[in-house]
Amino acid sequence: MTNVSGKLLDAGLTSINGLNPVLTFQLNKPATTDSGSFLVTDPIDVTPASDGSFTVNLSNTDTILTEDVYYTLSARWQAPDIGLTRADFPDWKLYVPSAGGNLADLMKQPVNRSMVITSPTNPGNNFGPGALWLQIDPADPNNPANPANTGDLYELRTP
């Protein structure tokens, strides 16, 4: 089991704790682990603290033997203005390594297509397919005579 932490806020960066929010983490399919456990898709509900912060203890996905198993995430909260419950069901994939970590660092989500990462080396697949990588020297990005500023623009793809 591994801790994943994060914060649930509205678009104004304010906690929605007064609206009784609940986050739900759920495996995308049943799975088996390298220790012989059978994991079912029963959801795990988490209620954030008053400031919106939360920590959830999840099985890490890097010891799962079943192919491409990840957690989905959803959020529900009350909407007193309309007398109903609102919900979000993002299409993100949460892969949980044995070290755990911050939710934002672990989510594989569709990337902002206007994002361009500037780096001297390939930033890897953490940004998801579709992100752009401009190969530059971050210590000297505006020097056209610097051979590390190649001007090469790449579209990142999944391996």
- pLDDT confidence of residue 126: 64
Quote the pTM value: 0.69
Instruction: Give me the CATH code for the 2-108 domain, please.
Output: 2.60.40
pLDDT at 113 over 80: no
Locus of tokens 């000297």: 140
CA 50 to chain centre: 22
For the chain, the domains span: 2-108, 110-159
Q: pLDDT tens digit string along 77-86? A: 999 888 899 9
Spatial distance between the Cα atoms of 77 and 5, rounded to a whole number of angstroms = 19
Contacts of 114 by beta carbon, 8 Å cutoff, 6+ apart: none
